[in-house]
Structure formats: structure tokens, C-alpha cells
Amino acid sequence: MYKIGFTKTWNSWNTSNLLDGLRKSETAVEDLFIRKFISGTWHRLFASEVIIKRRANTIIIGGIVVRSILPRKMYFLIGFTEELLSYVLKCNVKMEIQTVESKEELIVKYV
């Protein structure tokens, strides 16, 4: 458990890939499906990587989104994504997103 920051990426927060973990292959396939679904549904809106966190029976999808569509459409996409993924994956899905004006705001330069 102490090697989780070195042997796993932080973009997928689950411990099923560790020794004696349950559902290793199912979790990997579900993560891949979620990322493909998000990239197709939120086409060119995510400015960062899709972060997937698993807590008990809940999947939390996070990331940074560009403010290029109306807020009404963004709320629709959030609800649509949560509802459809909850139905397909048979567990609670919640989206936690932050918005930025453009992708250039994420660039950090060290002086």
C-alpha cells in the first residue's frame, strides 16, 4: 500500500490492482470505458485529464472543463453523463468539474 504513488498513476484512484485486490480486470475495463465515454460526450471540452475516484459503491469523475458552451448545456451534460453511466455501471456516478476560460490558463511556467 505504501507504493501506491509510485506504481500507479493518480488519474485512477482505486486499490484493486494491488496484491489480492478484487475485480482487477473489470475495474480497468470500466475506467477505459468511462474515459472513452467522456471524451466522446464532452468533445474537446476537458482541458485536463479525466480523474476517476472510486469510493465504496460510488465513482467520482473529476477534471477541468473549458467554458466554451452555455451553462445550461453543461448542466445537461453533467446530468446526462451521471445518469447514463450510473445505469450502465450499476453504481452511483458523480461528476465534480471545475471550469476555466481557456486551456492556456492551465500552463504553469516556473521562473
Instruction: Fill in the amino acid letter for 7.
Output: T
**For the chain, percent helix, then strand, then coil, each to nearest 5?**
40, 25, 35
Would you say residue 5 lies in a domain?
no
pTM of the full predicted structure?
0.78
pLDDT for 92: 96
Q: Model confidence over 9-48: pLDDT tens digits?
A: 555 555 666 666 667 778 888 888 999 999 999 999 999 8
Q: How many domains does the chain have?
A: 1
Residue 47 lies in a domain: yes
pLDDT, one tens digit per residue, over 61-78 is 999 999 999 999 999 999
**For position 69, which CATH number holds?**
3.30.70.1350
pLDDT of residue 13: 55
